[in-house]
Chain A
Amino acid sequence: MKALKFLLLPYMAAVIAAAFLWPEPAQGFIGESSRIVFFHVPCAWTSTLAFLVAAAYSAAYLRTRNPWHDDVAAAAVRIGLLFGVLTLITGSLFANIMWGSWWNWDPRESSYLLLVFLYAAYLFLRSAVEDPDRRPRVAAAYALFAVVLMPFLTFVAPRITASLHPQTVINPQGKILMDTPTRAVFFGALAGFSGLFLWMLSIEARTRRLARTGPISRTGRTSP
């Protein structure tokens, strides 16, 4: 994880520089607004990845009852929420430039807001269950139930009504509608944000474990 940390710094700096300097702005968008795709979509991808990781670790917790799996699941949801909020903020910036309003109740905007609520509710639920033995089990059950219904929020609900949102990477044509430099920076950003997520997840999960067990000394013993 240390190597990842040192790799991420120059890598993300290069991705950010490339995002502003390399590809030409896409046609059909006002000014440089299309460049938001290099930040907005990776944020959305990272939050979805985080929620999937939370579900995977929740399933692992229910199978093994290993509290470390619960730590990772809870950490993934917190980081997923952070990236979810960043998705909403970057989306709102784009909406203001393109559609003249910070918030338009576009189906995709609304469904993403609800996805954030869905996982904010996970944290509410965790804090409302006082029994420390029951809390990880209830949280894991909710995380798994939520991930079963998540596709309806992210894929089905935005397609029931007409949307202003530009075509997504997963579109009806099944094609990535980007030129080569845009595609390179876009996938580079996706990889960078995924790496950033892994690094943050490692820190957050270990912090949670420390909070649960207390500081561990150099000899590996837990302090009282």
Chain B
Amino acid sequence: MSALSGAWAVCVKDATEELRRKVAIVSVFFFAATAVTLVSFAMVGALALPPADRPPLQAALLWIILFFAAATGLPRAFVAEEESGTGLALRKTIPAVVVLAGKTLFNFLLFLAMAAVTIPGFLILLDWKAGSAGAVAATLLAGGFGLAVVSTFLSALVARAGQRHVLFVLIAFPLLLPLLQAAIAATIEAAAGAFPSAPLKVLVAYDGAAACGAYMLAGVAWED
């Protein structure tokens, strides 16, 4: 089995398991939908702002929702293997890098599905104007990939630690903040109809650095 087909097999396995269990994956989407609804209530009431002042706040809120929705779902990648007792079998049969690649791919697809739920909610409930749809899509792809890479790698690190769910948020937030900051800056520019070349460059650089780091350290993080 080549590395690519192995990674794809891990991704399909995770998707099948999550779809079979349903509760975990539905809770991620439910969290995203609830958060958008709550934010829209707040924006209409207490946070009512003139239309010109809204884009930065909307961009920040969008990425905060995506981050916390991701934090409920993405760390499950390796944690679920340990909880179900399948981690050892996976470690013995597939190289760590391939497992990491497969789980990252699944998390990336999960993020995109989550964004597909959140963005229409934002457009409708918060009257958000996605000025340049292509730029918004590029930002989501670049931001989502970085979020998936870092979350998956950290999931491997905390999989066998105590208090792993709290620990994940503690260690993920400072590592992901530069990505979130660049993604918010890119979203503000994209919403204004411009192509956010500078923040996108930062996102791509961050994605590259995180992917290289995760690739180099995958074995250390996951294997015995």
Residues of A within 8 A of B (CB): 62, 111, 114-115, 117-118, 121, 124-125, 128-131, 134, 137-138, 140-142, 144-146, 148-149, 151-153, 156-157, 160-161
Question: Chain A nearest CB: distance from B195 CB in Å?
Answer: 16
Find out whether the CB atom of A114 lies under 8 angstroms from the CB atom of B177: yes
B221 at the interface (CB under 8 A from A): yes
Residue of B nearest to A130 (CB): B162
Taking CB atoms, residues of chain A closer than 8 Å to B164 are: 128
Q: List 9 A-B contacts (CB under 8 A).
A: A121-B170, A121-B174, A138-B157, A144-B216, A148-B209, A148-B210, A152-B202, A156-B182, A160-B199
Contact B212 A125 (CB under 8 A): no
Whether the Cβ atoms of A114 and B174 lie closer than 8 Å is yes
Q: CB distance B161 to A129 under 8 Å?
A: yes
Per-residue interface assignment for chain B, residues 160 to 201, with 1 indicating a CB less than 8 Å from any chain A CB and 0 otherwise? 111110010011011101110110010000000000000100
Complex contact A157–B178 (CB within 8 A): yes
A36 to chain B, nearest CB (A): 25
B217 at the interface (CB under 8 A from A): yes
- Label chain A's interface by main secondary structure: helix
Q: Inter-chain contact count A-B, CB under 8 Å?
A: 92
CA distance A44 to B130 in the complex (A): 40
Complex: A140 Cα to B157 Cα, angstroms? 10
Interface set of B (CB-CB < 8 Å, partner A): 150, 153, 157-158, 160-164, 167, 170-171, 173-175, 177-179, 181-182, 185, 199, 202, 205-206, 209-210, 212-214, 216-217, 220-221, 224
Contact residue among A111, A140, A146 (Cβ-Cβ distance under 8 Å from B175): A146
Q: How far is the CA of A152 from the CA of B182 in the complex (A)?
A: 10
Among the listed B171, B202, B210, which residue makes an inter-chain contact with A121, where contact means beta carbons less than 8 Å apart? B171
| Contact pick for A160, options B161, B173, B202, B217, CB 8 Å | B202
Q: Answer whether A62 and B171 are a contact pair too, CB < 8 Å, given A129-B160, A142-B157, A160-B185.
A: no
CB distance from A116 to the nearest CB of B (A): 8
A146 to B164, CA, bound (A): 18
Residues in chain A near residue B213, CB distance under 8 A? 144-145, 148-149
- CB <8 Å contact, B217 and A145: yes
CA distance A103 to B200 in the complex (A): 29
Q: Are B163 and A128 in contact (CB under 8 A)?
A: yes
A50–B210 Cα distance when bound, in Å, is: 21
Residues of A within 8 A of B174 (CB): 114-115, 117-118, 121, 153
